[in-house]
Amino acid sequence: MTMKPKAICQNCDWEGDPSKTKPVKDLEERVAPGEILPVGECPRCGAVCHLKKTYVFEGPDGKRKSVDALSEDDAASMILSNLGWNPVGTS
């Protein structure tokens, strides 16, 4: 099965085809160094949109879990949270 990439706006929850987004105005003022580059501006509210990806994780028991997230770190946090693990800090 082939999945089409989707753009998502975290401001208003719009989701759609990345080609429906607008060019990002003032990109250097809206994206800090090290941040994920947006795919475009939201056609609904004008905030930046990012590509939404599906991440699949396999547990030690062989079961697979998939989550939609903007980054692998976000996906891992969601999986751990679903397992009842809570972040206690960083190292």
Residue 87 resides in a domain: no
Count CB neighbours of 77 within 10 A: 16
Residue 89 resides in a domain: no
Q: 65: helix, coil or strand?
A: strand
Residues spanned by the domain of 64: 6-82
Residue 65 resides in a domain: yes
- At 32-52, the pLDDT tens digits run 888 888 999 999 999 999 988
Yes or no: say if 50 and 20 are a contact pair by the CB < 8 Å rule.
no
The number of distinct structural domains making up the chain is 1
Residue 88 resides in a domain: no
pLDDT band at 63 (very low <50, low <70, confident <90, very high): confident
Q: Enumerate residues 6+ apart whose C-beta is below 8 A from 78.
A: 67, 69
